[in-house]
Amino acid sequence: MIEKKKDLSFFNKKEIPKAKGLRFSIVVSEWNQEITEKLYEGAYNTLREFDVLDSDIKRYEVPGSYELIFGAKISSREDVDAIICLGSIIKGDTKHFDFICSAVSLGIKDLNIALEVPVIFGVLTDDNLQQAIDRSGGKHGNKGVEAAITAIKMATLNKHNQIK
CA atoms within 13 A on the CB side of 11: 19
Give me the catalytic one of 18, 96, 103, 127: 96
CA atoms within 13 A on the CB side of 90: 16
For β-strands 57-62 and 136-138, DSSP reports them as unpaired
Question: What distance in Å separates the CA atoms of residue 132 and residue 136, rounded to the nearest whole number?
Answer: 6
Decide if 96 is catalytic: yes
51 Cβ neighbours under 8 A, 6+ residues apart: 18, 19, 20
Amino acid 149 reads I
3-state secondary structure of 140: coil
Q: Looking at the DSSP assignment, which residues form a beta bridge with residue 136?
A: 142
Cα torsion through 126, 28, 155, 115, rounded to 10: 100
Catalytic residues: 96
